[in-house]
Chains A and B, each alone.
Chain A
C-alpha cells in the first residue's frame, strides 16, 4: 500500500557550532544535535494528521525533509511512495507547504499579484489561477485586500494569503507548519475551518499539520503523533490518546429531584458515583465515573424509572494536555 507519507527510522542530525563557554575552548568547534531520531510514521491518503510537540521537538525538521528541503542523515522518508532523497521532483508536483509567521512574496506586489506569481511556479494557466485566487480571497474574507500591497496587510490577513498560496495549487498533500501561529481567534478559526473542509471535500487529500495548540490538534486531526526531543512518543486518534491517560470518563447529569439516588448504585460499568441535591432548583446533580460508556443507557433508564426528567448531560474527557503531560512529563508551553 502506498502511504501519503511514510518514514522508516528517519534520523536527522545537524552539525552546529559549539558556543564557547571559556576562552580556553577552541573556537569554531562543532557538535552534533539530533533533531529527529528513528521516526517511524505512516500517514494514509485522506488523513488529516497532526504532529504535536513543543518548540524544538523536531516537527519543522520532519516537514522540511518531507518537502525535499532537507536530506535525512539516515533512514528513509517517502511521500506518495517517492523517496525524498532520490525522487524529489515527482514529490514537488503534488505537495505544498505553509508555515506560520511566513513573510514570503514581495511587499511591493498586491495580494492578488503575489498569489498569481506563486501560481506560475506550479504552471497554472493565468486565467485559471486568477479564478482560483479570487474564489479563495473571497472564502477567506480578504477580497477587499486583493489590490492592497502585501506589505500593508495585517498579520492575520498575511497568513490567510499564505494559506491561499498553499492551497491554490490544489496539492494532494499539504504540509502546514503551525499555520495559525500568533493569529487572533477569528483568523485561526477561518483557517481551521478551511483546512477541515478542504480535506473532506475531495477524497485522497492529505494534510500533515504541526502545532503546539492542543485545541487545534484535538479539533482538526484524525490522528496525532506526539513528538518530543526528536522522537515519536505516541501516535493514535485524539480520542484513543486521551483514553490512554484514563480509561474512565466523567458524566454529569442534571435531573429533577431524585428521592432515592442510591438506587443508581450497582449499575454495571460504573466506577464511581456522587450526587448533590439543589433544593432551590428542585434538582439533583449526579456525577458518574464510568469505565464503559454503554452504562449511559442504564443510568438514563434508572433515572426515568424514578419519574424524573433529565435536563442536561455533560461528558468530560481527559484533554490532550493531560496526555502530553503523562507521556512527556512536561507541558507544551
Chain B
C-alpha cells in the first residue's frame, strides 16, 4: 500500500514537472498569457469607467467596484483556458505524440497522471493569473477590501480542486476522441465566459442561468472570491452567501474527482476494446 502510494506520488510529481518548468523555458507566455488577456480586461474596464462617469450617487461607487471584478475575472480566465486546453484536450495531444500509450503501460494509477497535469497546470496558471492581477491593479488602481483570509484561501483552493477535477473528467471523456475534443474545447470557451460571469457578477444573468452555470466551479468560485475581496459590495452583487458557495464547491470537488476516476477507467477499457488508445500508426 505504502509502495503504491509512493509510486503514485512520484508519478504525480513527474507529470507535474514539465508544466512547472515550462514557464521558465518559454518566456513568450509573458506576452501571450499576461499582456493579451489584459487587453480584453481593459476593454471592459473602459466600458465600466464610462458608465461610472454617467452614474450618480452610490451607483457610481458600485460600478467602480466592477473594475476590480473584471480584473479578477480576467485572471480566472487563465484557469478556465488551462482546464480546457491543457487538461481536457491534453490526452488528445498525448496520443498524437505517443505519450498516452506509455502512460497506459506504466504501473501507476492514471489518476496520478491527471493529478500531475492538474497540479502542474495550477502552478503554471497561478503565475500567470497573479501577474494579470498585479499588472491590472497597478494600471487601473484597484483597491481591495479583504474578508477573512481563511475563507479566501479555502474558496480559492476548492475552486481549483473542483475546476481541475472537472478538467480531469473532461480529459478522460475526451481521451478517445481526436479533433472532436478540440472542437468541444473551442465551443466551451466563449459561452462560459458569458454565463459564468467572468466580467460581471453572475447574479445579473438571472437565477436560472446562474444556477445552471454553477455546475462549472469557476462560477461559484469567482462569485465567492469577489465577495471576499470586495467586502463592501459583497451583499449587493453576490449571488449566494459565501458559506453556501464553499459547501457547493466542496461537493463539486468530490463529485468531479469521483466521476473522473470512474470515467477514466471506463474510457480506458473502451479504448482497449476498440483499439483507440494509440494512433493507428503507433
A103 partner, pick from B98, B272, B278, beta carbons under 8 A: B98
Among listed B14-22, B54-62, B191-199, interface-contacting one = B14-22
How many chain B residues sit at the interface, stated as a range, is: 20 to 34
Task: Tell whether A117 is near chain B: CB-to-CB under 8 Å.
Answer: yes
Instruction: Pick out which of these stretches binds chain B: A65-73, A251-259, A283-291.
Output: A65-73
Cβ contacts under 8 Å, B106 to chain A: 92, 118, 121-122
- Contact (A118, B14) CB under 8 Å given A68-B272, A70-B277, A93-B107: yes
Residues of A within 8 A of B108 (CB): 121-123
The answer to whether A70 and B272 have CB atoms under 8 Å apart is yes
Cβ–Cβ contact A120 & B25, under 8 A: no
The answer to whether B11 and A96 have CB atoms under 8 Å apart is no
User: Known contacts A104-B99, A108-B18, A121-B106: does B282 contact A99 (CB below 8 Å)?
Assistant: yes
Given the interface contacts A92-B107, A95-B105, A99-B282, does A121 sit within 8 Å of B14 by beta carbon? yes
What residues on A are CB-neighbors of B105 within 8 Å? 67-69, 92, 95-97
Judged by a CB distance under 8 angstroms, whether B97 is at the interface is yes
Residues of A within 8 A of B26 (CB): 108
Known contacts A103-B98, A104-B99, A121-B14: A69-B21 contact under CB 8 Å = no
Task: Judge whether B102 is part of the interface by a CB distance below 8 angstroms.
Answer: yes
Flag B259-282 by CB within 8 Å of A: 1 or 0 each: 000000000000011110110001
Contacting B at CB under 8 A, from A111-136, are: 113, 116-126
Q: Is the CB of A121 within 8 A of B11?
A: yes
- The answer on a CB contact under 8 Å between B107 and A89 is yes
Query: Would you call A123 and B7 a contact (CB within 8 A)?
Result: yes
Q: Which of B14, B97, B282 contacts A119 (CB 8 A)?
A: B14
- How many Å lie between the Cα of A116 and that of B16 in the bound state? 12
A293 at interface by CB-CB < 8 Å: no
Interface residue ranges of A158-207 to B (CB < 8 Å) = 165
Complex Cα distance A131/B141, Å? Answer: 52
B275 touches A120 (CB 8 A): no
Whether A69 lies near B272 (C-beta < 8 A) is yes
Q: Does B190 contact A (CB under 8 A)?
A: no
In the assembly, what is the distance between CA of A321 and CA of B26, in Å?
50
A123 touches B18 (CB 8 A): no
* A89, closest chain B residue (CB): B107
Give the docked Cα–Cα distance between A121 and B22 (Å): 19
A109 within 8 A of B: yes
CB-CB under 8 A from A106, the residues of chain B are 18
Whether B11 contacts A123 by the Cβ 8 Å rule is yes
Would you give the shortest CB distance from B1 to chain A, in whole angstroms? 13
Q: Does B101 contact A (CB under 8 A)?
A: yes
B151 near A: Cβ within 8 Å? no
A117 to B14, Cβ gap below 8 A? yes
B101 CB contacts on chain A under 8 angstroms: 64, 67, 69, 97
Query: Which residue on chain A has the smallest CB distance to residue B24?
Result: A108
- Say yes or no: is B104 at the interface (Cβ < 8 Å to chain A): yes
Give the chain B neighbours of A60 by CB distance below 8 A: 282
Contacting residues, chain A, for B21 (C-beta < 8 A): 108-109, 113
CB distance from B271 to the nearest CB of A (A): 8
Q: Which residues of A contact B103 (CB under 8 A)?
A: 121
Task: Let me know if A120 and B98 touch, CB within 8 A.
Answer: no
In Å, the complex CA distance between A60 and B277 comes to 13
Given known A69-B277, A71-B273, A121-B108, contact A104–B10 (CB-CB < 8 A): no
Q: List 20 A-B contacts (CB under 8 A).
A: A64-B101, A64-B278, A69-B101, A69-B105, A70-B277, A71-B272, A71-B273, A99-B98, A102-B98, A105-B97, A108-B22, A117-B15, A120-B17, A121-B10, A121-B11, A121-B102, A121-B107, A122-B7, A123-B107, A126-B10
Interface of A with B (CB < 8 Å)?
Answer: 14-15, 60, 64, 67-71, 89, 92-93, 95-97, 99, 102-106, 108-109, 113, 116-126, 149, 165
**Known pairs A67-B101, A109-B17, A149-B25 / 7 extra A-B pairs, C-beta < 8 Å:** A96-B105, A105-B99, A108-B22, A116-B17, A123-B6, A123-B7, A123-B107
User: Hey, which bits of chain B sit against chain A, CB under 8 A?
Assistant: 3, 6-7, 10-11, 13-15, 17-18, 21-22, 25-26, 97-99, 101-108, 113, 272-275, 277-278, 282
